[in-house]
Structure 1
Amino acid sequence: MTLAQRVEELVIASGTDSKRVIGEFVLQKKSRLCDFTTQQIAQETYTSKSALVRFAKALGFSGWSEFAREYANEQHYQETHYTDIDPNLPFHEDSSTKDIVNLMCSLQMESLMDTADLVSPQTIDRVVNLMERSKRIGLFGMSPNSLLGELFRRRMLTIGRNVEIPALGDNGLLASSLDSSDCAIIISYSGNSYACEPLNALRFLEPNDVPVIGITSRGTNYLRQHAAYTLSISSQEKLFSKISTFATETSINYILNVLFSVYFVRNYEKNLANKIEKGRILEYQRFSHLSELKEETSES
């Protein structure tokens, strides 16, 4: 979870107290936050310097200066690495169909590039190593993340590797059946709702020493603290104030595709032959009149 998202969470949880007013000021000023002195901020928010310090400490910082510096740096990075497309509201009431076509394309490409920048090839290799030596793989996530997980499960099944996904409400049942010879993948954007699905699976996984692979947003969160490995999602969307999870879904799907592809290439010839043979058997009734889609068939 980015620092901006942690500020947003604090604003939502703070009701009408000074933290909410200060948080709204912070979210509005973005990278320009360091242009204001504590005295100016206190005056504009009708609070006090001590209230600013308490706000910073609520987010785990020693004081306001440390918080403001890190927040401004994070915002500067985002402002210099991304276009002016708002991932939360990428189109508006007056957007034309052509505008939406182009905006959605740009948004998803941006999400892919951001995720690729965040991906560590070394971490991917370690995660795939873990998946290869695990007897069972469990995948935990709430909709729509679980739907992306289902696509990953299907791809893995085409090369003979099963990934187990619990039905709604069965997180604990699957998690408690795994042990140290298995692994678990948990997908959570915020990574902080430890009392709810899917993170509540951790209270079953940890006592059984099940290694956890976390797919979550950047920054500090509960899932990162409890996972053996973490893969970072493009984290530009707000928690609630958005049209949909366009960028997040693109990012998660990309990470799962990378994991599948690296797993596939470890036994490339075997997996490719297995995949093609299963396709011939299971999809023999499919056909196309387009030459580009036609499969070569051997004569008997």
Structure 2
Amino acid sequence: MYLFQRIEEAVFKENDAKRVIGEFILENRDRLQEFSMEDIAKQTFTSKPTLVRFAKFFGYSGWKEFMYAFTHEVAYHDDTAYKDVDPNFPFLGTDDSLEMIENLVSLKIQSIKDTVSLMAVEDLNKAAAIIQKSANVVIYGTSPNYYYGELFRRNLLSIHKKAFMANSGESGIISHTLTEKDCAVIISYSGNSPEESPTSNVKILKKNNVPIISITSGGKNYLRDYSDIVLNISSKEKLYSKISNYATQESILLIVEMLFSKVFALDYEANMEKKLASSRQLESRRQATFKDLSEQ
């Protein structure tokens, strides 16, 4: 999770000086360098020592180091930002239907391109190899990530790979049953909150030597630190201030589709045979009058 997202999370959860300072930083992110430490302390009705404590809260030794990291992150995001459309508010109330549709399509295309640019082929290959040799694949995620995991699980089942979703109420019990012969796929945008599901399962999984494949956002987060393989979600969206998870959803779906496809390709002929055999048996009653859809 990037620093600006961690600050937004603190603003949302905290109710002290961290909220006031965080709000000021986020509102003035593009011109923060114009303010001295004294200026920011006055504007937020705090003090220089409070700003230092704020920086240390996010793991920096002092305010100067925090400012350096934040301003460089802003510069990076400005250079790699989605063009022509805001990922958090891709349309306005005044936009007509066609403008809304065009903006959503543009956003999804840019999310896909960004996801591809963040994908390390070597990590994708390693993750697929872990899944291929695992006795059981257990997928963790809370809503809406749970639903993306369900699609991944269904695809794995179609090639006879044992895959299960870890329901939040039973995820701890399930984690205790896994061994080094299995693997866990954890989908979490923030990747933080080690006491909450799904990241609360990480300690149990590590204790049991279960390989962990994480699908999470860029930047520093708890899940990334303890995963064997990390596949990066396009992370331009804010955590809370947005209409929907348009870009994130597209990114996660592409990642699980790429991961399944690589698993499929590792034993292409055998998996093709399994997939077609299952489809013929389970979907034999499905009929289509449209010529291009018909299996006849």
Aligning the two structures, in what range does the TM-score lie when normalised by the shorter sequence?
A: over 0.9
Aligned to 1:30: 29
In 1: Cα distance, 2:175 partner to 2:66 partner: 37
Aligned to 2:47: 48
Taking only the aligned residue pairs, the percentage that are identical comes to: 41
Letter in 2 for 1:28: E
- In the TM superposition, what is the alpha-carbon distance from 1:92 to its structure 2 partner? 2.5
Q: For the structure 1 residues 171 and 165, does the alpha-carbon distance in structure 2 shift closer, same or farther, using more than 3 Å as the test?
A: same
In 2: Cα distance, 1:274 partner to 1:133 partner: 17
In 1: Cα distance, 2:231 partner to 2:100 partner: 30
- In the TM superposition, what is the alpha-carbon distance from 1:84 to its structure 2 partner? 4.5
Structure 1: runs of 5+ lacking an equivalent: none
Moved more, 256-265 or 267-276: 267-276
The 8 Å contact of residues 136 and 161 in structure 2, kept in 1 or not, is answered as no
In 1: Cα distance, 2:34 partner to 2:83 partner: 23
Aligned to 1:90: 90
SS of aligned partner of 1:138: strand
Structure 2: runs of 5+ lacking an equivalent: none
Alignment of 1:90-239 (within 5 A): 90-239=90-239
Which runs of 4 or more aligned residues in structure 1 lie more than 6 Å from their structure 2 counterparts after TM superposition?
none
SS of aligned partner of 2:293: coil
What's the CA shift string for 1:217-263, capped at 9, x where partnerless?
11111111221111111112222222222221111111100110111
Aligned to 2:63: 64
Aligned to 1:268: 268
In 1: Cα distance, 2:55 partner to 2:165 partner: 39
The 8 Å contact of residues 111 and 248 in structure 1, kept in 2 or not, is answered as yes
Question: Considering only aligned residues, what root-mean-square deviation do their CA atoms show, in Å?
Answer: 1.8
The 8 Å contact of residues 108 and 247 in structure 2, kept in 1 or not, is answered as yes
Pairing 1:250–2:261 present = no
Q: For the structure 1 residues 166 and 43, does the alpha-carbon distance in structure 2 shift closer, same or farther, using more than 3 Å as the test?
A: closer
The 8 Å contact of residues 168 and 198 in structure 2, kept in 1 or not, is answered as no
SS of aligned partner of 2:292: coil
SS of aligned partner of 1:215: strand
Aligned to 1:78: 77
The 8 Å contact of residues 32 and 72 in structure 1, kept in 2 or not, is answered as no
SS of aligned partner of 1:83: coil
SS of aligned partner of 2:262: helix
The 8 Å contact of residues 175 and 201 in structure 1, kept in 2 or not, is answered as yes
SS of aligned partner of 2:126: helix
TM-score (norm 1): 0.92
In 1: Cα distance, 2:93 partner to 2:170 partner: 40
